[in-house]
């Protein structure tokens, strides 16, 4: 089983993604840290895991097609992109999982991850769209449209919210989140427990 994990943003130091106005923590750093944790959990149960970037300075990752081509040429079985959300209002909070429009394998993957995150964090808000019968939201995000593998994008929490921004900066919380995502992936594949 080959899993491609995509820590969003970075590429150039000029794209930190969203930045917490409270702590200064950067989305690009949080999601890289979490991606490395997801990788460790999945490798421990025998999956092959590739990250689309392993550092901040990979300039080629500025081009999203680099990330999707990497996943496709590696023939990944699953693709999961990690992000932190941000809003003008500091009261916005919660997690979202996105897929491309329509019912695909990505929707099944997204639901498995959503359920594990909801189980791990009953105190956090799941921001859902059940109009198509499942909790994920749908959009034509580039990395969801151009990956061959079933794909989803996790907006882990709002870095622009004071409480969630502090949680996102906490390695122990990151690790719980990473384990929940890894469990969602193994639930999708079927079998192995983490
Ligand atoms: Zn992002």
184 in a domain, yes or no?
A: yes
Edge-to-edge strand ranges of the sheet holding 96-99: 48-51, 2-7, 78-85, 151-158, 96-99, 137-138
| pLDDT tops 90 at residue 15 | no
100 in a domain, yes or no?
A: yes
Task: Determine the distance separating the centroid of ligand 1 and the alpha carbon of 86, expressed in angstroms.
Answer: 8
Task: Determine the distance separating the centroid of ligand 1 and the alpha carbon of 191, expressed in angstroms.
Answer: 31
Q: Interhelix angle for 171-189 vs 27-44, to 10°?
A: 50
Task: Determine the distance separating the centroid of ligand 1 and the alpha carbon of 119, expressed in angstroms.
Answer: 24
User: For residue 21, what pLDDT band results from cuts at 50, 70 and 90?
Assistant: confident
Residue 180 CB-density burial (10 A; 0-12 exposed, 13-18 middle, 19+ buried): buried
Query: How high is the pLDDT of residue 92?
Result: 96
Residue 140 or 194, more confident: 140
115 in a domain, yes or no?
A: yes
Task: Determine the distance separating the centroid of ligand 1 and the alpha carbon of 168, expressed in angstroms.
Answer: 13
Quote the distance between the C-alpha of residue 2 and its chain's center.
16
Q: Can you tell me the distance from the alpha carbon of 137 to that of 125, in angstroms, rounded to the nearest whole number?
A: 14
Ion ligand 1 — residues with CB < 5 Å: 8, 17, 83
62 in a domain, yes or no?
A: yes
Query: Which CATH number belongs to the domain containing residue 182 in this structure?
Result: 3.40.630.40
Task: Determine the distance separating the centroid of ligand 1 and the alpha carbon of 70, expressed in angstroms.
Answer: 19
User: For residue 14, what pLDDT band results from cuts at 50, 70 and 90?
Assistant: low
CB 78 within 8 A of CB 109: yes
Query: How high is the pLDDT of residue 62?
Result: 80
Whose CA is closest to 173, among 98, 117, 92?
Answer: 117
User: For residue 12, what pLDDT band results from cuts at 50, 70 and 90?
Assistant: low
32 in a domain, yes or no?
A: yes
194 in a domain, yes or no?
A: no
Print the domain residue range for 124.
2-189
pLDDT in tens, 81-120: 999 999 999 999 999 999 999 999 999 999 999 999 999 9
Query: How high is the pLDDT of residue 63?
Result: 86
pLDDT in tens, 63-72: 899 999 999 9
Number of domains, the chain: 1
179 in a domain, yes or no?
A: yes
CB 14 within 8 A of CB 154: no
pLDDT in tens, 29-57: 999 999 999 999 999 999 999 999 987 66
| pLDDT tops 60 at residue 13 | no
Task: Determine the distance separating the centroid of ligand 1 and the alpha carbon of 75, expressed in angstroms.
Answer: 24
| Average confidence score pLDDT of the chain | 93
Task: Determine the distance separating the centroid of ligand 1 and the alpha carbon of 1, expressed in angstroms.
Answer: 26
Task: Determine the distance separating the centroid of ligand 1 and the alpha carbon of 16, expressed in angstroms.
Answer: 9
């Amino acid at each position: 089983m080959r899993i491609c994990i995509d820590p969003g943003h970075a590429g150039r130091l000029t794209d930190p993604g969203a930045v917490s106005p409270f702590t200064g923590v950067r989305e690009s750093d949080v999601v890289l840290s979490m991606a490395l944790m997801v990788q460790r959990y999945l490798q421990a149960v025998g999956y092959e895991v590739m990250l689309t970037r392993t550092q901040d300075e990979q300039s080629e990752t500025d081009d999203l097609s680099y990330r999707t081509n990497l996943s496709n040429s590696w023939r990944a079985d699953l693709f999961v992109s990690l992000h932190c959300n941000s809003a003008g209002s500091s009261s916005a909070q919660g997690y979202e999982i996105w897929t491309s429009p329509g019912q695909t394998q990505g929707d099944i993957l997204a639901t498995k991850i959503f359920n594990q995150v909801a189980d791990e964090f009953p105190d956090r808000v799941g921001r859902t769209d059940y109009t198509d019968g499942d909790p994920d939201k749908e959009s034509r995000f580039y990395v969801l449209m151009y990956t061959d593998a079933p794909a989803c994008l996790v907006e882990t929490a709002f870095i622009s919210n004071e409480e969630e921004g502090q949680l996102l900066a906490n390695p122990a919380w990151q690790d719980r989140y990473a384990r929940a995502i890894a469990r969602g992936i193994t639930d999708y594949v079927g079998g192995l427990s983490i």
